């Protein structure tokens, strides 16, 4: 009995064990099949690995960079909402903003070793904020000219409104200060040339504030484009999706405001200096705090939001300035806004619900928008066989992603980078026919995985689970602020005495020309062409453009 | 096997807990089928056509050809909706259990084959992670187990028809 | 056990055990009731939001037209231009040669009671097709002018290339014949006025060939708009997505082709008449068979594919001619094409794989495309505070539908009719805040459901099944050919002597002007405006290229 039964018992008992072997075998095979499919797919999609030229620029070693032991003295010109973001990106916080969370984030950053030594702003509370954020090291100057005359300022961050970008940046370059300036680089066309000349002549390190160039997900996009995975790209579409008063630049006007020369009331802003290079008008708080809506001070959708999209596309596609631009639009959604106060006279935020008893705010007149809130611009690059379309309405926040339409595949940015094979693709025809690739699910999907950087995924299930929200935009395992990275890049170039920053004056020239071609077309009602030899905007017949209507100058 | 001693004797071989759990398994599978069927019957929007047309894997073309004509789609939709409902009710009641289980196993096999989680097949994603085995296969295995047990006669109307 | 007691006791116990799971059915029913109540409440609530609007689009009435008169009298129709599109129209009307299959989607439809009595086409095989389709009885006319003189003909279907649309339409109207003409209604702006005058003066029943108007998804779309569910719509985006040579109008050229005036070879087409009203050029088969690629004969993307989109948007939004148009584009991908044949001399299809030893066809020169294949148009309706953007590339098939962006919600017509609440909506704020509505999932979807017509769905799961599948374009439970419906609408209006067809002469005028404004803008690089008061097109800058002739 004994032995016999034991063996049989044992055999029965162990009957399930081979299944483990089968499992291991299948799992290995699955790993191999998925892996080889991924390799094959990446290979067939684009041939060998190629390096995108911008990637070399982005990750180049600066030979003369000796580290950041020297402190750089920074002056802030324009310390409004965006200027405050710059202070924070530089690591300068007012004490009440230094929360535990902020401290933790700062601890993870490589220190920039900068000191804010000077501030200039036309609105007194902004000056006070900047001085406090600097830890008391910053001195306040009434004009940017006085600030630029100081020897304890090595570099300036210009975050004024658009109509002061170029005059201040140019003066800074002429004073030998390095410049970081917010987009749009200039407010009108002739300033573009002046600023470029001044920056090049002075040999300073210049950075234009398109911090998105630092985002890691675009590395994957550049890889895709460099390897030609999409085939011939004939159309790129980009969008702005917003739908709120503040999104449409109807912002809150502070409770206490008034020009320095007022007979009575609060006297905390320098209106005279503000309008000194534009048409002189009586004080209007909307024109100061909601300047983005006005043609005198702002670049409208072209410079404010289109430039973000176009700069990114220019970086990925290396397009330069388009051969032509054709724009159309109107003020359709956010035509005007009347600031209100509640029953107790407290100002109400523009997007706040309106309580009972709210009434018109006496110190703020009706805001009437000048720049369109619905704008479409079509750019052509005939030599590249490519059109780029920008579609914006500030009256809808329905999400539309930037999308690249190629003859073999389509690339979409939705926080990651998705590549879809085209239904009629010749290159992927066999795979489409066999069902290994389906046109409505990503063929390749790049995501920033927490702690893992960018990963290429080809398995639809993996991509699906990721898209359902498991991810954060991390770099090297850490959440990072792109404006900080943009400043870091600028400062490292200063220390290495290298002018080829991530968004240098050449990029800035292209950005500003591209944006203003859109505006010029909108205002002249004609397709505006670019002559690369003379570097001038022209009509279709090569004639110079006429003076624009509606108050925007050439 | 136990025809001499009768069903009563067979049932005596199971403990109370076993009997309960076997019946429970049958009932929850029935519930699942019934609701799947009900949803299809009551929904204005449901049709199997989309799912079958998207069926991946080696049987994909077969399933796709099943829905090539509108009239076939109608037949398949009706068979699916009524079939699932009926199987669900029968399983809950324990009535004609063996036939119901057989049909259930067939349905599950079809579901399994229409979206097989096999290596190299780009199957339709759902919740969970699968390699070869998915929930359809697990449910089918459970149905097959029930098929060899007199589950309908434990707690169910088959008890009344069983030869004693 | 109670083996002795074989009577009631055991039976009762057996019965109790047998019926022990019946309460489960009760539990099931209870759960179901609770769930259904909850679902219904959610659905009713969502469907009811934002439906306070009272406006009714007059186009709704057109869509619900019912014939009043009888259909007992047979109408005699003629076909002018029986190429690819002409054949589709004839099939949809019920005519096809006995050895060919008819059109799909006619199953169970009402017979139109029409007879095909005459044909005019410049390519002999097309003429022969039409005669065969008529059952061998159709009369053949060399010219459309001779055809119009035939008193037996009641109505004419015109599916010529664009450069003959207006001439044929005007001749038909003046001969008192009803007319169905393909889009684009005309090739030029002046022709749009001439056609409108001729049709109105002669009182004939006119239909423009935008059969898409019959698709029932627009019933739901119009309901959504009329009920004001989207709020203020500031931007509408529409697209053309194609990626093949055929899609880019580089069609196959028949093996046998040649002008009648040729000294030798197949003499089966009337090139002289074809070019009689446009620029005179030596015979080029590309210009005859691939006419859509050339400005002499076609209207480019504006007239051919943009009009499909703009026409239905005009139906849904009822907005007429735009206040301005700007257009930009280029010939970027399908620049030129060498037509090929196999080593044995058999013609190869333009999208067919190229076999070893393929050679250029000696009888077909290289095709050099004139009209853009990448093309963007922006229209403004200043009085409606609205922009419509059309984006097209013929070298990518990524599916982009038709999207209406409102400040309260967005309507996407890509897969069916999906309505998404805007994340910053005020109207749907409550539902967005309590999570009943999510901005990235449709709040309401309308889908064609086999056998059931169009239905509103709000449950995400049903959504998925439906989206994956889909769906036939059904009407009243049946798959119907929209071209058939469009022809039927025309025939019904002829029988009722009612000029208000689904796409009547006023719609046609708007369609043609809208399309041509874009073409003129593209060619001249200037914004083109519509002066509503003067009913005239105005150029913001003097055009360098005068009105296309």
Residues facing residue C181 across a β-bridge: C158, C208
C326, part of any domain: no
Query: How many beta-carbon pairs below 8 A join chains A and C?
Result: 171
pLDDT tens digits, one per residue of A494-512: 999 999 999 999 999 999 9
Cβ distance of C472 and B92 shorter than 8 Å: no
Cβ distance of A330 and C333 shorter than 8 Å: no
Angstrom distance (rounded) from CA A87 to CA A121: 14
Q: With an 8 Å Cβ cutoff, is C104 touching chain B? A: no
The CA-to-CA distance between both ends of chain C, in Å, stands at 103
The CA-to-CA distance between both ends of chain B, in Å, stands at 13
Highest mean pLDDT among A469-473, B160-164, C473-477: B160-164
3-state helix, strand, coil in chain B (%, to 5): 65, 0, 30
Angstrom distance (rounded) from CA A113 to CA A384: 44
Angstrom distance (rounded) from CA C57 to CA C63: 11
> What is the DSSP-derived secondary structure letter of residue C526?
B
**What are the tokens at A361?**
């705010």
Cβ neighbours of C360 (radius 10 Å): 12
Residues facing residue C206 across a β-bridge: C179
Calculate helix-pair angle for B135-147, B97-114, nearest 10 degrees.
160
pLDDT tens digits, one per residue of A293-313: 999 999 999 999 999 999 999
Angstrom distance (rounded) from CA C485 to CA C490: 9
The answer for residues whose C-beta is within 8 angstroms of residue B117's C-beta and 6 or more apart is B123, B130, B131, B132, B133, B134
pLDDT tens digits, one per residue of A181-226: 999 999 999 899 999 999 999 999 999 999 999 887 788 889 889 8
Residue A21 has what pLDDT?
Answer: 81
> What is the DSSP-derived secondary structure letter of residue C395?
E
Angstrom distance (rounded) from CA C453 to CA C461: 19
Burial A15-33 (b: 16+ CB within 10 A, else e): eeeeeeeeeeeeeeebeee
Q: With an 8 Å Cβ cutoff, is A31 touching chain B? A: no
Q: With an 8 Å Cβ cutoff, is A460 touching chain B? A: yes
Long-range CB contact pairs, C242-245, < 8 A, 24+:
C242/A424, C242/C394, C242/C395, C242/C397, C243/A407, C243/A422, C243/A423, C243/A424, C243/A425, C243/C394, C243/C395, C243/C396, C243/C397, C244/A424, C244/C351, C244/C397, C245/C334, C245/C337, C245/C350, C245/C351
Q: Residue C197 sits in which domain range?
A: 72-214
> What is the DSSP-derived secondary structure letter of residue A303?
I
Which residues, numbered 463 to 482 in chain C, qualify as contacts with chain B under a Cβ-Cβ cut-off of 8 Å? 463, 465-472, 479
> Given the structure tokens 């990925």, which residue do they identify?
A316
Angstrom distance (rounded) from CA A390 to CA A307: 10
- Candidates C15, C32, C472; nearest CB to B38: C32
Which strands make up the sheet holding A155-158, listed edge to edge? A139-140, A114-120, A72-77, A155-158, A178-181, A206-208
Cβ distance of C18 and B156 shorter than 8 Å: yes
Element (H, E) at C445: strand C444-449
Please check whether residue C24 is in contact with residue B92, taking contact to mean a CB–CB distance below 8 angstroms.
Answer: yes
Cβ distance of B120 and A27 shorter than 8 Å: no
Name the nearest CA neighbour of A276 among A172, A196, A371, A167.
A167
In order along its 549 residues, chain C shows pLDDT tens digits of 444 444 445 577 778 888 888 888 898 899 888 877 776 776 666 666 655 556 778 888 888 888 998 888 999 999 999 999 999 999 999 999 999 988 877 877 889 999 999 999 999 999 999 999 999 999 999 999 999 999 999 999 999 999 999 999 999 999 999 999 999 999 999 999 999 999 999 999 999 999 989 887 888 889 889 888 899 999 999 999 999 999 999 999 999 999 999 999 999 999 999 999 999 999 999 999 999 999 999 999 999 999 999 999 999 999 999 999 999 999 999 999 999 999 999 999 999 999 999 999 999 999 999 999 999 999 999 999 999 999 999 999 998 889 999 999 999 998 788 899 999 999 889 888 987 788 888 888 876 654 444 555 544 334 333 333 333 344 445 567 889 999 999 999 999 999 999 999 999 999 999 999 999 999 999 999 999 999 999 998 876 655 443
Calculate helix-pair angle for C165-174, C189-202, nearest 10 degrees.
20
List chain A residues with CB under 8 Å of C378.
326-329, 376, 378
Burial C467-491 (b: 16+ CB within 10 A, else e): bbbbbbebbeebbbbbbbbbbbbbb
Angstrom distance (rounded) from CA C493 to CA C485: 12
Cβ neighbours of C279 (radius 10 Å): 11
Residue C457 has what pLDDT?
Answer: 52
List chain C residues with CB under 8 Å of B69.
none
Cβ distance of B51 and C465 shorter than 8 Å: yes
DSSP count for chain C of H helices, then E strands: 17, 24
> Given the structure tokens 């119901």, which residue do they identify?
B100
Longest dimension (CA), chain C: 112
> Given the structure tokens 């806004």, which residue do they identify?
A337
Cβ distance of A330 and C541 shorter than 8 Å: no
User: Strands, E, within C318-408: which ranges?
Assistant: 324-330, 336-337, 340-341, 359-360, 367-368, 374-381, 386-393, 395-396, 402-406
* Mean model confidence pLDDT for chain A: 89
Residue C449 has what pLDDT?
Answer: 55
C495, part of any domain: no
Cβ neighbours of C308 (radius 10 Å): 17
Cβ distance of A33 and B119 shorter than 8 Å: yes
* Helix runs in C227-368, H state only: 271-274, 285-289, 300-301, 307-317
Angstrom distance (rounded) from CA A218 to CA A312: 9
User: Peptide bond preceding C184: is omega within 30 degrees of 0, i.e. cis?
Assistant: yes
pLDDT tens digits, one per residue of A26-64: 878 877 776 666 667 666 666 666 789 999 999 889 988
Angstrom distance (rounded) from CA B72 to CA B49: 9
Angstrom distance (rounded) from CA A292 to CA A306: 14
C317, part of any domain: no
List chain B residues with CB under 8 Å of A30.
119, 131
C117, part of any domain: yes
Angstrom distance (rounded) from CA B125 to CA B134: 11
Counted residue by residue, chain C has a size of: 549
Mutation target vs B (from A20, A442, A460, A461; most B CBs, 10 A cutoff): A461
**What are the tokens at C541?**
């800058």
Q: What are phi and psi of A114, to 5 degrees?
A: -125, 160
Please check whether residue A40 is in contact with residue A32, taking contact to mean a CB–CB distance below 8 angstroms.
Answer: no
Please check whether residue C338 is in contact with residue C534, taking contact to mean a CB–CB distance below 8 angstroms.
Answer: no
Number of domains comprising chain C: 1
Cβ neighbours of C70 (radius 10 Å): 8
State how far residue B117 is from chain C, nearest Cα, in angstroms: 19
CATH number for the domain that contains residue C131: 3.40.50.720
Burial A47-82 (b: 16+ CB within 10 A, else e): eeeeebebeeebeeeeeeeeebeeebbbbbbbbbeb
- Candidates B60, B119, B125; nearest CB to A461: B125
**What are the tokens at C5?**
């007691």
Q: With an 8 Å Cβ cutoff, is C21 touching chain B? A: yes
Residues facing residue C538 across a β-bridge: C529
C162, part of any domain: yes
C200, part of any domain: yes
Residue C538 has what pLDDT?
Answer: 92
C85, part of any domain: yes
The CA-to-CA distance between both ends of chain A, in Å, stands at 106
Angstrom distance (rounded) from CA B26 to CA B155: 10
ipTM of this predicted complex?
Answer: 0.90
Q: With an 8 Å Cβ cutoff, is A29 touching chain B? A: yes
**What are the tokens at A280?**
């002189």
β-pairing verdict for C75-80 and C155-158: parallel
List chain A residues with CB under 8 Å of C242.
424
Between A3 and C489, the more confident residue is C489
Average pLDDT over residues B30-58: 80
pLDDT tens digits, one per residue of B108-159: 999 999 988 887 776 766 667 788 889 999 999 999 999 999 888 888 888 8
Angstrom distance (rounded) from CA C60 to CA C399: 28
State how far residue B56 is from chain A, nearest Cα, in angstroms: 7
Angstrom distance (rounded) from CA A185 to CA A207: 10
* Dihedral angle computed from the Cα positions of residues A305, A308, A310 and A312, in that order, rounded to the nearest 10 degrees: -160
Note the Cα C502 to chain centre separation in Å: 13
Calculate helix-pair angle for A307-317, A217-226, nearest 10 degrees.
50
Which residues, numbered 81 to 100 in chain A, qualify as contacts with chain B under a Cβ-Cβ cut-off of 8 Å? none
* Helix runs in A438-530, H state only: 460-467, 482-496, 505-524
Residue C13 has what pLDDT?
Answer: 78
List chain C residues with CB under 8 Å of A541.
544
Angstrom distance (rounded) from CA C282 to CA A525: 39
C446, part of any domain: no
**Secondary structure of residue C422 in the 3-state scheme:** coil
> Residue C351 to residues A124, A426, C179, C247, C273: CA-CA distances in angstroms?
69, 10, 35, 10, 30
Please check whether residue B52 is in contact with residue B114, taking contact to mean a CB–CB distance below 8 angstroms.
Answer: yes
């Amino acid at each position: 009995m004994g032995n016999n039964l034991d063996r049989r018992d044992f055999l029965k008992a162990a009957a399930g064990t081979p299944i483990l072997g089968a499992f291991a075998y299948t799992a290995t095979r699955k790993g191999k099949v998925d892996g080889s499919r991924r390799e094959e797919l990446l290979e067939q999609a684009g041939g060998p690995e190629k390096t995108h030229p911008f990637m070399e620029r982005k990750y180049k070693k600066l030979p003369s960079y000796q580290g950041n032991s020297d402190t750089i003295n920074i002056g802030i010109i324009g310390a409004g909402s965006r200027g405050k973001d710059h202070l924070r990106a530089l690591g300068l916080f007012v004490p009440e903003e230094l929360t535990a969370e902020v401290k933790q984030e700062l601890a993870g950053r490589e220190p920039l070793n900068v000191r804010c030594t000077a501030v200039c702003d036309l609105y007194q509370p902004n000056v006070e904020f900047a001085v406090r954020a600097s830890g008391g090291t910053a001195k306040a100057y009434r004009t940017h000219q006085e600030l630029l005359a100081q020897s304890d300022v090595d570099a300036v961050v210009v975050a004024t409104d658009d109509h002061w970008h170029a005059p201040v940046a140019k003066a800074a370059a002429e004073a030998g200060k390095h410049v970081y300036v917010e987009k749009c680089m200039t407010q009108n066309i002739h300033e573009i040339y002046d600023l470029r000349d001044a920056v090049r002549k002075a040999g300073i390190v210049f950075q234009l504030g398109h911090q998105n160039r630092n985002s890691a997900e675009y590395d994957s996009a550049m890889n895709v484009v460099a390897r030609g995975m999409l085939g011939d790209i004939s159309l790129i579409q980009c969008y702005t999706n917003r739908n709120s008063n503040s999104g449409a630049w109807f912002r809150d006007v502070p409770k206490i405001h008034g020009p320095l020369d007022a007979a009575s009331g609060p006297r905390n802003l320098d209106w005279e200096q503000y309008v000194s290079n534009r048409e002189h008008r009586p004080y209007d708080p909307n024109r100061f705090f909601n300047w983005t809506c006005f043609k005198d001070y702002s670049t409208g959708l072209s410079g404010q939001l289109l430039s973000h999209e176009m700069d990114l596309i220019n970086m990925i596609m290396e397009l330069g300035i388009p051969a032509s631009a054709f724009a159309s639009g109107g003020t359709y959604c956010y035509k005007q806004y009347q600031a209100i106060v509640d029953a107790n006279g407290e100002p109400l935020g523009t997007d706040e619900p309106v309580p009972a008893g709210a009434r018109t705010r006496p110190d703020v007149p009706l805001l009437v928008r000048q720049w369109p809130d619905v704008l479409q611009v079509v750019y052509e690059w005939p030599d590249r066989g490519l059109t780029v379309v920008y579609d914006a309405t500030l009256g809808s926040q329905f999400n539309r992603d930037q999308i690249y339409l190629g003859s073999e595949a389509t690339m979409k940015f939705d926080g990651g980078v998705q590549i879809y094979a085209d239904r009629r693709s010749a290159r992927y025809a066999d795979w489409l026919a066999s069902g290994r690739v389906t046109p409505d699910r990503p063929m390749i999907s790049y995501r920033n995985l927490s702690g893992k950087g960018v990963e290429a995924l080809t398995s639809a299930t993996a991509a699906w689970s990721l898209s359902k929200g498991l991810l954060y935009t991390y770099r090297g395992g850490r959440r990072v602020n792109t404006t900080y990275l943009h400043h870091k890049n600028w400062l490292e170039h200063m220390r290495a005495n290298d002018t080829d920053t991530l968004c240098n004056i050449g990029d800035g020239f292209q950005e500003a020309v591209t944006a203003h071609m859109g505006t010029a077309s909108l205002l002249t009602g004609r397709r505006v062409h670019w002559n690369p030899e003379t570097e001038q905007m022209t009509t279709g017949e090569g004639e110079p453009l006429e003076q624009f209507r509606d108050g925007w100058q050439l | 096997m136990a025809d001499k001693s009768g069903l009563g004797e067979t049932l005596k071989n199971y403990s109370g807990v076993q009997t309960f759990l076997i019946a429970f398994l049958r009932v929850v599978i029935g519930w699942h089928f019934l609701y799947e069927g009900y949803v299809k019957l009551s929904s204005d929007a449901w049709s199997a056509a989309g799912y079958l047309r998207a069926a991946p894997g080696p049987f994909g073309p077969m399933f796709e050809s099943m829905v090539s004509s509108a009239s076939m789609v109608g037949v398949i939709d009706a068979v699916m909706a009524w079939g699932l409902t009926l199987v669900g009710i029968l399983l809950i009641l324990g009535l004609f259990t063996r036939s119901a289980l057989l049909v259930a196993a067939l349905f599950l096999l079809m579901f399994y084959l229409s979206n097989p989680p096999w290596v190299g097949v780009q199957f339709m994603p759902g919740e969970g992670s699968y390699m070869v085995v998915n929930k359809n296969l697990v449910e089918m295995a459970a149905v097959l187990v029930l098929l060899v047990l007199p589950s309908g006669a434990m707690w169910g109307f088959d008890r009344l028809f069983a030869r004693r | 056990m109670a083996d002795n007691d074989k009577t009631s006791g055991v039976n009762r116990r057996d019965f109790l055990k047998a019926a022990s799971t019946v309460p489960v059915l009760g539990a099931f029913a209870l759960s179901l009731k609770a769930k259904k109540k909850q679902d219904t409440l959610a659905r009713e609530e969502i469907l009811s939001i934002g439906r306070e609007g009272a406006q009714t689009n007059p186009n709704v009435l057109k869509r619900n037209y019912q014939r009043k008169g009888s259909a007992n009298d047979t109408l005699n129709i003629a076909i002018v231009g029986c190429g690819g599109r002409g054949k589709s129209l004839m099939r949809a009307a019920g005519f096809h040669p006995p050895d060919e299959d008819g059109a799909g989607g006619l199953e169970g439809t009402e017979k139109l009671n029409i007879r095909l009595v005459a044909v005019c086409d410049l390519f002999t095989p097309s003429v022969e097709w039409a005669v065969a389709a008529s059952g061998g009885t159709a009369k053949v006319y060399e010219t459309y002018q001779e055809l119009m003189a035939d008193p037996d003909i009641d109505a004419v279907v015109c599916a010529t290339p664009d450069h003959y649309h207006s001439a044929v339409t005007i001749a038909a109207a003046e001969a008192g014949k009803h007319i169905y003409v393909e889009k684009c209604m005309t090739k030029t702006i002046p022709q749009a006025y001439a056609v409108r005058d001729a049709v109105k003066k002669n009182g004939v029943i006119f239909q423009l060939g935008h059969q898409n108007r019959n698709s029932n998804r627009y019933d739901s779309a119009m309901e959504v708009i009329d009920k004001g569910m989207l709020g203020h719509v500031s931007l509408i985006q529409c697209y053309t997505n194609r990626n093949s040579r055929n899609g880019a109008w580089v069609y196959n050229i028949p093996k046998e082709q040649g002008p009648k005036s040729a000294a030798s070879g197949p003499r089966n087409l009337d090139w002289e008449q074809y070019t009689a009203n446009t620029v005179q050029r030596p015979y080029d088969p590309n210009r005859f068979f691939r006419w859509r690629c050339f400005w002499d004969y076609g209207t480019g993307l504006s007239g051919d594919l943009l009009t499909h989109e703009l026409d239905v948007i005009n139906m849904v939004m009822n907005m007429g001619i735009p206040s301005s148009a700007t257009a930009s584009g280029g010939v970027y991908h399908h620049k030129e094409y060498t037509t090929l044949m196999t080593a044995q001399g058999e013609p190869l299809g333009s999208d067919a794989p190229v076999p070893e030893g393929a050679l250029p066809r000696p009888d077909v020169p290289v095709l050099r495309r004139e009209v853009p294949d990448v093309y963007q148009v922006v229209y403004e309706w200043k009085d409606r505070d609205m922009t419509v953007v059309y984006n097209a590339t013929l070298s990518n098939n990524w599916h982009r539908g038709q999207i209406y962006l409102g400040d309260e919600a967005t309507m996407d017509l890509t897969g069916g009719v999906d309505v998404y609440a805007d994340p910053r909506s005020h109207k749907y704020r409550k539902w967005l805040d309590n999570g009943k509505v999510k901005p990235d999932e449709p709040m309401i979807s309308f889908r064609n459901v086999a056998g059931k017509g169009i239905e509103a769905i709000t449950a995400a799961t049903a959504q998925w099944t439906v989206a994956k599948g889909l769906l036939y374009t059904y009407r009243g439970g049946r798959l119907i050919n929209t071209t058939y419906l469009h022809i039927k609408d025309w025939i019904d209006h002829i029988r009722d002597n009612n000029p208000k067809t689904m796409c009547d002469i006023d719609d046609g005028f708007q369609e043609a002007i809208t399309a041509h404004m874009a073409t003129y803008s593209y060619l001249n690089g200037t914004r083109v405006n519509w002066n509503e008061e003067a009913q005239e097109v105005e150029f913001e800058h003097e055009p360098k290229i005068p009105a296309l002739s």
